[in-house]
Amino acid sequence: MTPPPKGADAPGAEAPLLSVTDLRTYFHTNNGVARAVDGVSFTVAQGETVGLVGESGCGKSVTALSLMRLIQSPGRIEPGSSVRFEGTELLTLSEADMRRVRGNRMAMVFQEPMSALNPVFTVGDQIAEVARIHSRASRRDAWRQAVAMLELTGMPAPEQRAHEYPHQLSGGMRQRVLIAMALMMNPALIVADEPTTALDVTIQAQILELLADLQRRTGTSILMITHDLGVIAETARRVIVMYAGEVVEQSAVGPLFATPHHPYTEGLLAAMPRMGRRRDRLRVIPGTVPPPTDWPTGCRFRARCQYSWDRCANEHPPLYDLGDGRRSRCHLAVEPGRRAHPHEPLAAQAVPAR
């Protein structure tokens, strides 16, 4: 059971579309260095949907912004990090070249469409603008493409809706507008950061179905970032679980749901509502993610883990290779017998009983 080489991933995959190696994004603040993303490696193959899952504060969104090179000061992508996309190292591109990649080959769909759209322009104008910037289409052609793209996303009465302003549309329609903008230049990769979190359950299901359908038709790869394992189950083929700035588990979706290896993944699954499971039987993971300025030594999940023992305090676990494309950053990989002795986690002991 050895740690894999950094950056290796997806067995059998040839020349991944996206290859992230040892990505470190740190925020240099007055309160210390926040290591929000701390040595993350993964790949996304052509036409693949990969889920990136974890609680708030785990580093998922900072990972997404780092890929797009949208990190603002005091954040910084540290030397030694690498993001290769379509064979090009993005972290050394000039800003002008990076702008051409963004929105052209790689696009982002944000969580809250209202804040991602400009309230003073019609949605048609905003979608058409993408075509005008990236392909220098004429105004008329860009508008025609915008309406066609809205139609592709299943927007009802697309011609009429294109003339409306963001506030005139429902949340689900606004998310369709953002997806239309993302798809406008036929990107190779869409980074979708919690695309359905702000929507109610029915609309959420429609948007996930839309993304899956568009992916089948266009062959676009999707990096689906979410705190919700239900979204992963609906959309992704592989999943990467993040905790405290690190990848803690990687697996194909089916095996991860059947037999999670990392105790954090186990906790996320136990906290997930499912058919037939009573709400009062849902478990919560005790405690919270520690602050990124102060990651604990040893295993970062230690205080919240029901299996921790001395080794977890003393030795930072590597991402153990478990075979079949599965990896887990947990010493249980080499001492599986410890799983037979769960106990109350430190974080639960620290919480006063109510």
Residues engaged in binding ligand SF4 (CB under 6 A): 262-263, 299, 301-302, 305, 307-308, 312, 317, 330-332
58: left (phi over 0), alpha (psi -120 to 50) or beta: alpha
Shortest separation between residue 336's beta carbon and ligand SF4, angstroms = 10
Shortest separation between residue 7's beta carbon and ligand SF4, angstroms = 22
First to last CA, the chain: 42
Shortest separation between residue 308's beta carbon and ligand SF4, angstroms = 4
Shortest separation between residue 309's beta carbon and ligand SF4, angstroms = 7
Torsion, Cα of 102, 147, 128, 103 (10° steps): 0
Residue type, 23: L
Shortest separation between residue 285's beta carbon and ligand SF4, angstroms = 11
Look up tokens 């620290």; give the residue.
350
Nearer to ligand SF4, 194 or 246 (CB): 246
Residue pair 21/4 in contact by the 8 Å Cβ criterion:
no
Nearer to ligand SF4, 35 or 262 (CB): 262
Nearer to ligand SF4, 102 or 300 (CB): 300
Burial of residue 167 (CB within 10 Å: 0-12, 13-18, 19+) is: exposed
Nearer to ligand SF4, 193 or 249 (CB): 249
Nearer to ligand SF4, 176 or 300 (CB): 300
Nearer to ligand SF4, 192 or 332 (CB): 332
Look up tokens 């037939």; give the residue.
276
Burial of residue 285 (CB within 10 Å: 0-12, 13-18, 19+) is: buried
SS (H, E, C) 11-31: CCCCCCCEEEEEEEEEEEECC
Nearer to ligand SF4, 165 or 309 (CB): 309
Shortest separation between residue 131's beta carbon and ligand SF4, angstroms = 48
Burial of residue 344 (CB within 10 Å: 0-12, 13-18, 19+) is: exposed
Shortest separation between residue 48's beta carbon and ligand SF4, angstroms = 27
